[in-house]
Every structure is written in structure tokens, then in C-alpha cells.
């Protein structure tokens, strides 16, 4: 069960849009709708920002959006703001012999 | 609002067992809709899911950790616990407890650092 594949880094200027990919297999991302994204500022608890591929919890700005195609999920942050600078992790429900949850390696988003 | 708080020793010796407890407030651990999970982050690395449990007793563990992990729930105290045996330096991490619904970690504790060292 290797981690889902994310680019280690991404960047954009304020106001721009950035998309972060998360690639898995048919046993995880490609096989289920339970893909989530988390924003993690160092020293704080991670925060859920997208669940079930493209749903936003209450209070999360609509600048954050999610999608999935095949075995790859994506997080798009539109209208970048300074406070969006953080680490972003995807996760997915996964099943091989048993069910479990698998995370991506994380992407450091830098707002230039 | 649901809150989770991790507690336990910050230092564990190699080969011993790491034990942490998560106290849940503002909600019941006996919710049929939720699982209770543990996730960790080693220094400088990414998040790693360890396992989860439903209050009825159903457990799910990361396959590579399954032989060393046990998660239990105590509804009478509204707490759940993690035990990780035969620890090594590679188990040094910030450990988070979370509330999980359909493999989505909705609420998180603040995390607690556990260092494995003699």
C-alpha cells in the first residue's frame, strides 16, 4: 500500500489558480468516491477542505474545489490568497484484502 | 462542537509499547455514523493513517502496521485508545486522533508528539 502520489510542491501568485493532483489505483482513488483533501498549516491540526471528491464542508470557501478522473483526483485552489500557503494532503478509502485509508505524500503550496 | 484531545507519554523506549488515549467531548463516541481513528506524522514527513474503530468493535488497520496496532473504545469514558507495540525510532511522530465518517477524517485533535528513544 504505497502512498498516493502527489507533487511535492506547487506555487502560484495571489489571485491565480493552482491545481494539485493525487494519483492512486483502481483499488483506492479510482474505485471509490471517498476521496478527501486536507489543509495543514505547520503546528496546527489538519483541516478537512474537500470530501467525497468534490464536496466542501461548511465554512470552507468555494475557492477550493475537487474533482476526479479515473485514478487521479485533483484539488484546485482559485483566487490564491496568502493564507492558502500550507501543506495539502489527499486521502482515499482503499480496499485490498481489507478496508483502510491511504494518504498522499503531501504537496507544499507556496503563494509567491 | 466536537473536540478531541490526545494524551499519553511523550517519550517511549525502543521495543516498548506506545499507549495514547483520545478524550472526546461535545459528542458521543457511541455514534453509529462514525469511526474513531489514529493518524500520525513523523518529523518532516507526511500523514500516515494508522487505523480506526467503530464503537461496536469493528476495527480497520493499515496493513503494514496491523501486527503491532490495537485500537480500543471505552464508551463509558467517551474515550478511545491506541496501542502500538515493539516501537522503534521510526515510530517517532505527532499522533492525531480523529472522528471519521466514510473514510473522511472530519474532526482532529491538536496532536501529541511521541518520541521513541532510550
Count other C-beta atoms under 10 Å from residue B40's C-beta: 23
As a whole number of angstroms, the distance between CA A37 and CA A77 comes to: 12
* Pairs of CB atoms within 8 A across A/B: 72
- Write the pLDDT tens digit of every residue in A61-112: 999 999 999 999 999 999 999 999 999 999 999 998 889 999 999 999 999 9
Phi-psi region of B30 (alpha: psi -120 to 50; beta: other; left: phi over 0): alpha
Partner residues linked to A18 by β-bridges: A77
Among B61, B49, B32, B42, smallest CA distance to B108 is for: B49
Q: What is the pLDDT of residue A1?
A: 67
As a whole number of angstroms, the distance between CA A22 and CA A90 comes to: 6
Q: B79-84 and A64-69 as β-strands: parallel, antiparallel, unpaired?
A: unpaired
Joined grid coordinates for residue B81: 485508545
Q: What is the mean pLDDT of chain B?
A: 96
SS3 of B5-16: the string is EEECCCEECCCC
The answer to whether residue B26 scores a pLDDT higher than 80 is yes
Look up cell 455514523; give the residue. Answer: B33
Q: What's CA A60's distance to the chain center, in Å?
A: 14
CB of A103 within 8 Å of a chain B CB? The answer is: yes
With an 8 Å Cβ cutoff, are A103 and B52 in contact?
no
CB of B113 within 8 Å of a chain A CB? The answer is: no
| CB of B72 closer than 8 Å to CB of B61 | no
Look up cell 472522528; give the residue. Answer: B99
The answer to whether residue B4 scores a pLDDT higher than 90 is yes
The answer to whether residue B6 scores a pLDDT higher than 90 is yes
Residue B64 DSSP label: T
Of chain A residues 13-42, which have a CB less than 8 A from chain B?
32, 34, 36, 38, 40
With an 8 Å Cβ cutoff, are A106 and B47 in contact?
yes
| CB of B41 closer than 8 Å to CB of B110 | no
- Write the pLDDT tens digit of every residue in B63-76: 999 999 999 999 99
CB of B94 within 8 Å of a chain A CB? The answer is: no
User: Can you say whether the dihedral through the CA atoms of A60, B62, B27, A35 is positive or negative?
Assistant: positive
Joined grid coordinates for residue A48: 478537512
As a whole number of angstroms, the distance between CA B55 and CA B33 comes to: 10
Amino acid at each position: 500500500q504505497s502512498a498516493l502520489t502527489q507533487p511535492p510542491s506547487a506555487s502560484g501568485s495571489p489571485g491565480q489558480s493552482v491545481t494539485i493532483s493525487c494519483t492512486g489505483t483502481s483499488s483506492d482513488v479510482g474505485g471509490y468516491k471517498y476521496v478527501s483533501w486536507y489543509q495543514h498549516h505547520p503546528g496546527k491540526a489538519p483541516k478537512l477542505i474537500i470530501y467525497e471528491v468534490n464536496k466542501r464542508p461548511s465554512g470552507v470557501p468555494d475557492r477550493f474545489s475537487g474533482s476526479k478522473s479515473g485514478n487521479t483526483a485533483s484539488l484546485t485552489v482559485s483566487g490564491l490568497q496568502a493564507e492558502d500557503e500550507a501543506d495539502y494532503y489527499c486521502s482515499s478509502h482503499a480496499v485490498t484484502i481489507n478496508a483502510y485509508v491511504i494518504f498522499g505524500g503531501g504537496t507544499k503550496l507556496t503563494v509567491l | 462542537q466536537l473536540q478531541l484531545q490526545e494524551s499519553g507519554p511523550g517519550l517511549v523506549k525502543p521495543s516498548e509499547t506506545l499507549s495514547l488515549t483520545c478524550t472526546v467531548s461535545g459528542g458521543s463516541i457511541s455514534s453509529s455514523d462514525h469511526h474513531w481513528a489514529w493518524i500520525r506524522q513523523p518529523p518532516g514527513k507526511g500523514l500516515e493513517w494508522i487505523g480506526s474503530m467503530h464503537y461496536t468493535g469493528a476495527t480497520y488497520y493499515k496493513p503494514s502496521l496491523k501486527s503491532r496496532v490495537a485500537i480500543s473504545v471505552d464508551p463509558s469514558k467517551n474515550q478511545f485508545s491506541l496501542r502500538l507495540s515493539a516501537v522503534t525510532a521510526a515510530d517517532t511522530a505527532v499522533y492525531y486522533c480523529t472522528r471519521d465518517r466514510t473514510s473522511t477524517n472530519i474532526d482532529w485533535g491538536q496532536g501529541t508528539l511521541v518520541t521513541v528513544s532510550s
